[in-house]
Structure 1
Amino acid sequence: MRKIVLKSALLLSVMFLISCDQDFNTIGSDVIGDDHFGLEKKEDVNVIAYTKSTGQVQSNNLPSNMLGYYSDPFFGTTKASFVTQLTLASVNPNFGFEADITTTDSVYLYVPYLSKQTATGSGNEPNTYELNSTYGEDFETATFDLKIYKSDYFLRDFGTNPEERQKYYSGATDRSLVEANLDGVPLNEFTGALASETTAFKFSKEEIIIYKRNAAGDFLDSSGNVTTDESARVVSQRLAPGMWINLDPLRIKDIILNASSSDLINNNIFKEYFKGLYFQMTENNPDEDALAYLDFSKGYIMMQYHSKDTDEATAEVKKKSVRINMTGNTINFFQNNFSSAYETALNNSNSTTGDELLYMKGNDGSVVFIDLFGPDTDVNGVPDQLEQLRSEKILVNDAFLTFYVKNDGQKNATRIYLYDATNNAPLLDYIFDSSTATDPKNNKLLFGGILEVDEDNEDLGVKFKIRIRSHINNIINGDNPDTNKNVRLGLSVTDNIANSSSYDVFDSVNFGNEKLPIASIISPLGTIVYGNTTTDESKKLKLEIYYTKPN
């Protein structure tokens, strides 16, 4: 294993050019080194860190969305549901004459999972895939009661103020608005519906293959002849693994084929007419969990039908199709059943002295706030400890916050994100780090926050280490009073280190002016780390500053 030691800011800038493809458990220990020869070290910096519950979080139009049920041994369970608007792939469609959905037509819904192809099948054999961003100990076996409803609740673009985008939140408040406006029975429950698409749905990594058929629905071979030989079927289309669900053809016929032409003339009107779909999953066994990210923006409904091009009696009846895309406004809802231990920790958090343990949980869970440099006894807006460091005019060569993991049964998040919580913005060290890795989740590896694990047990997390040299140097030596302020820091789990944007929380009175990183909202994971009041000095949260003094 190659050891990389960072000794100075110059070497740090050179390291930005390095692309690293090591595993996450190696990166933290090798790239962010512990050797700082010839430098003085200050580690008695006053640090106060505490946990804050987020409550409901803004969750409309997220960059990725999840569906399913996730169980964490410590934090508890989370169930994710989803609602989306729909748009016509081609507006103002001409269905022709005598349009009808026949017994040989199908109406199906397809939403791809996040996946990567790993092998190519020969002939009409399926290609092989692996799924990305899946969670749950029983992902391939857990089954669900899946319900896909027609939603009659309109998702607005703007709020009461026409200049402000509408915000929807993850909890029961907005979810109840949708669930109170569902149209009848689910669209995937009808005579002939398969249990694997309704009451016994499960996620699958299998490729979806559509074979060529004639107008009567028979399979065809390469010569265009009807065949019953599965190996002779001609592949018409291959789809990456995803949710493939047949929908009630009679209801879709009524919604689309029987619609007034004025309801289909453009997508603004169509979204008012067919307001969307609501996806709801109920676990069949609470001891089995499975949750996946779905790329709903690439999802669609495909409605097949037959019609004539003219109204002549002898005109040929042709098979046609209409595609309805899952684009427009969306909301991801989260239903939590937190453990009593986690609830107690949230209720007992102390923002004055800090906490013994710090709890980060994604979705609508919790984040950590950190205040540096202690009290301001002379009430001049600058902490006493920071004033002393500024007077010494030290040159900051490096600085780290290290968080030791308490393995308390939770399934550890593999990365955390430190940010400016006062201004809801990334830190300078995050901005300056352009380093990349083979796995994009390990990009900005010099900034850090990647879980280091035990060499003998990769399931056992050890610590997270985050470099904040530029941030600390700017606070101590920056000469711009508008940008060198000692801001409050925020710490959250992250599912996408490249996304530094923030969203609102529902209870802004309790949470303050701070927003929440979107990358935390889209992660179901959590982790527990030691804080500043733990009695275990070897695990205590510390800020380490490596510096030299001027001659």
Structure 2
Amino acid sequence: MKFTLVSLKNIFYKLRYNYMKKIVSNIAILLSIATIVSCDKDFNTIGSEVIGDDHFDFLIKDDVTLSAYTKRTGAVQSNNLPINSLGIYVDRYFGTTKSTFVSQLELNSIAPYFGNIREIQSTDSIYLYVPYFSEQTATGSGIEPNTFELKSVYGDSDNATLDLKIFENGYFLRNYNAVDPSVSQKYYSDEKTSLIENNLASAQLNDGSNLSENTQFKFNKEEIIIYKTNGSGAYLDSNGAVTTDDSKRVVKERLAPGMWINLNKSFFETKVLNAPDSKLINNNLFKEYFKGLYFQVDANSSGNSNALALLDFSKAYITMQYHTKEAATDEFKKKTFKLNLKGNTINFFENTFSSEYNDELTNTNAPNTDEFLYPKGGDGSVVFIDLFGDDDAGDDDLIPEELEELRSQNILINDAYLTFYVKNEEQKNSTRIFLYDATNNIPILDYIFDSSTATDPANNKFSYGGILEVVENVDTKYKIRLSSHINNLIKGTDPDTNKNVRLGLSVTQNINNGNRYGIKDPTLFGNTNLPIGSIMSPLGTILYGNHPSTDPSKKMKFEIYYTKPN
């Protein structure tokens, strides 16, 4: 008998193998409220009608043929990323990555009028502020600073220092391809020297005497506090009187921890304050005139330059303080103007990979299966996975025989998982990995259908999974659900969408962004795109594959939980 159970839709999608048998005994009760529509022995897919008696078995299939191997990405598209990295990260297994960055600037208000007579005086400042990702952990009393912890800073952020240099960029970052203006311009992670460093347009701009802003730069977790002054640099108390007592200063503004860099005043006086009016009419003209800033980092002489931060430069700005008056006999008035780090950007990566990692990429068994898998962010590597083995050469229908066998059994898919065990070689593992359709370069259905959210957005889509599991402070495994994907392969009727596509596995910096970005050399990589979340991540992880020599207890597992009529 076949019953329509509208109220049961989507329930069986959520069932798990270890408790589904308990549900079966209650189905008869639920059937009493259903409407009988026909009598047959059909079995249907997830979320559809189900036969409600004891004439079916709950089974696990865990012997599907798998092939998984790692491919080097080469240079990747890295312009206009949502999040960019800056610094040097030393991973104990994968090696060293240096990240530099270039960004255009925009006028906070177009066609500004700076006054008839304007100048930057000795008490004025030109400063850059780039906020870090941080979390406030304690509140200070009075004028005491609040306490913060930095997030998305890798390496030894408490102690490491970098040699940071900021220059005027001399290369115009285009919106569209010069050959085909209908196509957006792509810039790649390995073009630092040819595009930018060969076209620097100024001397170093962060050239002050405070070494923490240049040769001894550090990602500082201290809150930034700006106090009220009299316009000439003297601090004021609550009565507006000049004070030299630190405890009587008045807080004007509190800023979360961030990069605070004083920039060369003479440069900005000439380049912006005294710029021709025609260059300030709109931001398009301004970007052609002032092509942006380049952030260069190098190791310094400290012996510890292992610090790299992920930054949202779109929230960064430059504040220009200046004095202006209309007539020579007028008094100067202090004013401010803001430039925003917005427009086109490029993140550049320079890698010195370890010999071990390089050897593994060179000696991969692709397209056959590898003993270990090495998804690595930036311009690192991605894993490709083929399910269900090969097609029989005799039938030439491009459908693997194992998949054809499952399709012929009229089964109901209850769940399906891929599980990857971590091989710890002192690397810092990514907290999320991302499984996607690498044939079409789109997310799989389970990712698309999963709207689950968590307090921390990094844990969103937790039903889809791919979250690093930690047991007693040891990184152990990742588990990813692909139930809807497998169900569509087996029960889907559209030959255009139920194909057995190749899967891709990458690390991801942002599970909420499933978009794709380009590859500079698709022939080397074997694909034209990869997930943008992989490009933004500086991390990598090492996973056990399913090669015959792999430790059987750690092999990657593919398990299908299904129901079959008996």
4+ residue stretches of structure 1 with deviation over 3 A?
Answer: 8-15, 32-38, 285-288
Contact kept? 1:110, 1:300, Cα under 8 Å: yes
Partner of 2:544: 530
Matching of residue 498 in structure 1 with residue 512 in structure 2? yes
Instruction: Indicate the residue corresponding to 2:439 in structure 1.
Output: 422
**For residue 218 of structure 1, what is the aligned residue in structure 2?**
234
Matched residue of 1:386: which SS?
Answer: helix
Q: Would you say 1:153 and 2:171 are equivalent positions?
A: yes
For the 8 Å contact 1:68–1:80, the answer to whether it is kept is yes
Gaps of 5+ in 1: 1-7, 16-31
Distance 1:506 1:271, change over 3 A: same
2:34 maps to what in 1? none
**How many residues are paired up?**
519
The amino acid that maps onto 1:232 is K
Shift, 1:33, TM fit: 8.3
C-alpha separation in 1, matches of 2:86 and 2:286: 26
Is contact 1:9–1:397 with CA below 8 Å preserved after alignment?
no
Deviations 1:12-41 (A, max 9, x none): 7569xxxxxxxxxxxxxxxx8877656211
Q: Deviations over 1:402-455 (max 9, x none)?
A: 11111122111121110001111111111111222222111111111111123x
TM-score (norm: length of structure 2) = 0.89
Q: SS of 2:490's equivalent? A: helix
Range with bigger deviation, 321-330 or 345-354: 345-354
Partner of 1:326: 341
Give TM-score scaled by structure 1 length: 0.91
| Deviation per residue, 1:72-129 (Å, 9 max, x gap) | 1110010111000001101111111221111111111111111222333222221222
Task: State the SS of the aligned residue for 1:400.
Answer: strand
Please, which of 487, 495, 517 is the counterpart of residue 481 of structure 1?
Answer: 495
Q: 2:458 aligns with which of 401, 426, 441?
A: 441
Q: Equivalents in 2 of 1:351, 1:499: separation in Å?
A: 28
State the shift of 1:385 in Å: 1.0
Say if 2:461 is the partner of 1:461. no
Q: Provide the aligned C-alpha RMSD in A.
A: 1.8
What are structure 2's unaligned runs of at least 5 residues?
1-7, 22-56
Of 123, 133, 136, which residue of structure 2 is paired with 1:114? 133
CA distance in 1, matches of 2:106, 2:415: 52
Equivalent position to 1:281, from 280, 293, 297: 297
Counterparts of 1:170-189 in structure 2, within 5 Å, are 170-171=189-190, 173-189=191-207
Give runs of aligned pairs for residues 238-277 of structure 1, distance below 5 A: 238-277=254-293
Counterpart for residue 332 of structure 2: 317
In 2, the alpha carbon distance for the partners of 1:357 and 1:9 equals: 40
Q: How does 1:194-209 map to 2 (within 5 A)?
A: 194-209=210-225
The letter for the 1-side match of 2:206 is N
Return the letter of the residue paired with 1:150: E
Cα displacement string for residues 463-514 of structure 1 (whole angstroms, at most 9, x for unaligned residues): 1111111111110111111111101000001111111001011111222334
Q: Which amino acid aligns with 1:345?
A: E
Alignment check: 8 A CA contact 1:423 1:514 kept: no
Residue type matched to 1:69 in 2?
A: I
> SS of the residue aligned with 2:375?
strand
Q: Distance in 1 between matches of 2:174 and 2:14?
A: 48
Q: Which residue of 1 aligns with 2:159?
A: 141
What SS does the aligned partner of 1:153 have? Answer: coil
Q: Which amino acid aligns with 1:337?
A: T
Q: 1:116 touches 1:130 (CA, 8 Å); kept in 2? A: yes
User: Whole-Å Cα distance in 2 between the matches of residues 122 and 261 of structure 1?
Assistant: 47
Deviations 1:362-402 (A, max 9, x none): 11100100011111122211111111111112111111111
- Following the alignment from structure 2 to structure 1, what is the Cα–Cα distance between the partners of residues 272 and 319? 11
Q: Which amino acid aligns with 2:346?
A: I
The 1:446–1:282 alpha-carbon spacing in structure 2 relative to 1, beyond 3 Å, is same
Deviations along 1:165-217, whole A, 9 cap, x unmatched?
Answer: 0001111x34431111112321011xx53111111110111111111111322
1:287 Cα deviation after fit: 4.6
The residue type equivalent to 2:491 in the other structure is N
> Is the Cα–Cα contact under 8 Å of residues 193 and 246 in structure 1 kept in the other structure?
no
Contact 1:209 1:239 in 2 (8 A): yes
What corresponds to 1:507 in structure 2? 521
Give a deviation string over 1:190-247, Cα, whole Å, max 9, x none. xx53111111110111111111111322111111111101111111111111000111
Corresponding residue to 2:185 among 166, 170, 181: 166
Matches within 5 A, 1:290-369: 290-308=307-325, 310-311=326-327, 313-369=328-384
C-alpha separation in 2, matches of 1:510 and 1:439 = 37
8 A contact 1:58–1:170 mirrored in 2? yes
Range with bigger deviation, 200-209 or 288-297 = 288-297
SS at match of 1:548: strand
Change (3 A) 1:9 1:373: farther
| Separation in structure 2 between the aligned mates of residue 84 and residue 196 of structure 1, nearest angstrom | 22
**2:243 counterpart (220, 227, 235):** 227
Tell which deviates more after alignment, 74-83 or 208-217: 208-217
Tell me how far 1:133 sits from its aligned partner: 1.1
Q: Does 1:65 align with 2:84?
A: yes
CA displacement, residues 139-162 of structure 1 (integer Å, 9 cap, x when unaligned): 111011110111111100001211
1:322 Cα deviation after fit: 1.3
- Assess, with a 3 A threshold, how the Cα gap between structure 1 residues 385 and 14 changes in structure 2: closer, same or farther: closer
**Retained in 2: the 8 A contact 1:71–1:77?**
yes
Aligned residue identity for 2:467: I
Q: Report SS of the residue matched to 2:542.
A: strand
Contact 1:175 1:333 in 2 (8 A): no
SS of 1:281's partner is strand
C-alpha distance in structure 1 between counterparts of 2:136 and 2:557, whole Å: 43
Aligned to 1:384: 401
Residues 13 and 415 in structure 2, CA contact (< 8 A), matched pair in contact too = no
Q: Say if 1:76 and 1:339, in contact at 8 Å, map to a contact too.
A: yes
- Give, as a single letter, the amino acid of the residue that structure 2 aligns with 1:379: D
> Pick from 383, 398, 411: which aligns with 2:415?
398
CA distance in 2, matches of 1:418, 1:162: 34
Q: Residue in 2 aligned with 1:24?
A: none
Deviation for aligned residue 1:9: 8.8
Distance 2:312 2:557 in 1: 40
1:40–1:548 Cα contact (<8 Å) kept: yes
Partner residue, 1:22: none
2:189 and 2:443 mapped to 1: Cα distance?
24
DSSP-derived class of the 1:516 partner: strand
Q: Separation in 1 of the partners of 2:364 and 2:266?
A: 55
Q: Secondary structure at the match of 1:135?
A: strand
1:97 match: 116
- In the alignment, the residues of structure 1 paired with residue 17 and residue 488 of structure 2 have an alpha-carbon distance, to the nearest angstrom, of 22
